[in-house]
């Protein structure tokens, strides 16, 4: 039997630690190197990302703007991952909570008079209803986002536990182009009658928490 000296054991242990650290660093660098960051409005970042030297692509409000910008960003950057950070309203989650969206639905797609369920796009052979993505942040709560071109202040027509105005469009473009979408929403308001006031009041804190999350990747 060959006896390994304490010095040899120490060298092997140090090499293993170094190797693991290199793997962790390379994995982190690889993720940021292949992603593009998209947000709806500069007010959601409060300039904090730019101050940190982080490139942000702003889509503007609504599904049409979001779809166009997502397509443009993916084509121009060649990114493999589109990271969407932003705000959302929810009567289910607590205010100031970060929620990773793993499923997107359309809360304003209603062709029910023709016999289609609310949230289903007629004649769409690829993704007519909900769109799902694998979670990335294990520490975050998961949610279902209902997207629509209206500032929601009441109950949604489709099953969801947070609402926004861009997510579903981003998800559909990413699915069609084979790009992974990671979407995290900061809950600014309760999607009620005072949602517009709560949203404005909580934007700075939301930007700070989203930046901290980005830097953890």
Where are the chain's structural domains? 1-33, 35-215
pLDDT at 151: 81
Please tell us whether the domain made up of 35-215 is placed in CATH 2.40.128.20.
no
pLDDT at 200: 79
Rounded to whole angstroms, the maximal C-alpha distance in the chain is 81
pLDDT at 184: 98
pLDDT at 104: 98
Q: How far apart are CA 140 and CA 214, in angstroms?
A: 13
pLDDT at 199: 73
What residues in the chain have per-residue pLDDT under 50? 1-4, 6-7, 9-28
What are 111-120's pLDDT values in tens digits?
999 999 999 9
pLDDT at 215: 97
pLDDT at 27: 46
pLDDT at 174: 98
Reading the block at residue 113, the tokens are 């008079």
Question: To the nearest whole number, what is the mean pLDDT of the chain?
Answer: 87
pLDDT at 85: 98
Q: How far apart are CA 171 and CA 187, in angstroms?
A: 19
Q: Identify which of 22, 25, 26, 66 has the alpha carbon closest to the alpha carbon of residue 44.
A: 66
């Amino acid at each position: 039997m060959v006896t390994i000296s304490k010095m040899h054991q120490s060298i092997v242990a140090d090499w293993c630690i170094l190797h693991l650290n290199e793997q962790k660093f390379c994995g982190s660098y690889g993720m940021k190197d292949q992603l593009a960051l998209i947000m709806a409005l500069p007010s959601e970042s409060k300039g904090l990302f730019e101050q940190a030297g982080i490139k942000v692509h702003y889509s503007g409000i609504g599904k049409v703007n979001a779809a166009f910008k997502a397509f443009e960003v993916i084509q121009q950057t060649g990114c493999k991952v589109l990271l969407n950070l932003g705000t959302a309203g929810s009567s289910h989650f607590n205010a100031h909570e970060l929620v990773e969206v793993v499923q997107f639905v359309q809360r304003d797609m209603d062709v029910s008079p023709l016999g289609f369920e609310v949230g289903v796009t007629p004649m769409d052979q690829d993704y007519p209803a909900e769109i799902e993505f694998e979670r990335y942040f294990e520490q975050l709560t998961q949610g279902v986002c209902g997207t629509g071109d209206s500032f929601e202040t009441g109950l949604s027509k489709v099953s969801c536990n947070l609402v926004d105005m861009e997510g579903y469009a981003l998800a559909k473009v990413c699915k069609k182009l084979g790009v992974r979408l990671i979407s995290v929403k900061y809950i600014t308001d309760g999607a009620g009658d005072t949602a517009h006031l709560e949203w404005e009041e909580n934007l700075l804190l939301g930007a700070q928490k989203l930046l901290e999350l980005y830097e953890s990747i």
